[in-house]
Structure 1
């Protein structure tokens, strides 16, 4: 996995999310290298040894695959949409929680928010 501080972690999390959305659009090789590096936490050297190629070649494959994921996101915006929906659902739940407990709509609105969350989660799996 990438080393470094919070920026590296943010980058890894973003790649993992993009991978969740766009994995079916990747080639087998792109999928394999990204899974080994970002999900299974293999080093470049470990991947290189497994595939009989140089660390530089592994690095180039991973960089190209990341570029492809970012390109898909730029065109399709699935992650951006997902994040917007999550923020909207969080806001809805916060507003509903602020309602008095005896509000006739509180439990119904919380149920709707939960259904929206479940629908969004189901879509990305």
Structure 2
């Protein structure tokens, strides 16, 4: 049985999320997990190509990638680094818009919010 992970347009959001989670939490992964994730998500290699590189089955690669994705999601649930990043980005965008409208008091309030997040 051969397993394929397809990357349809609807998977783009998941791939983007996993890439961000990987950026935030890669230091918490093993070398093997980092290698598999980088090859699959960053280098866009197939399960077959990765399995040949490590001389293991495609199923083993698939299982490891899925477990690692779940670990990244678990780290995010506990630590929330990606969520805080997104919140900061949204607040900075709002600040920029408010600055262009010269609403300085509202910008100051947003800066206070950002500082409280840290």
Does the TM-score normalized on the shorter chain lie above 0.5?
yes
Please list every run of 5 or more consecutive structure 1 residues that lacks an aligned counterpart in the other structure: 117-125
Please tell me the root mean square deviation across aligned C-alpha atoms, in Å: 1.9
Matched ranges for 1:1-125 at <5 A: 2-5=6-9, 7-99=10-102
Instruction: Name the structure 2 match of 1:122.
Output: none
TM-score after normalising by structure 1: 0.77
For residues 78-99 of structure 1, the C-alpha deviation after alignment (integer angstroms, 9 at most, x for no partner) is 0000000000000000000112
Count of paired positions: 103
Equivalents in 2 of 1:2, 1:50: separation in Å?
Answer: 20
For residues 24-63 of structure 1, the C-alpha deviation after alignment (integer angstroms, 9 at most, x for no partner) is 0111111110000000100000001111111111100100
TM-score after normalising by structure 2: 0.81
Please list every run of 5 or more consecutive structure 2 residues that lacks an aligned counterpart in the other structure: none
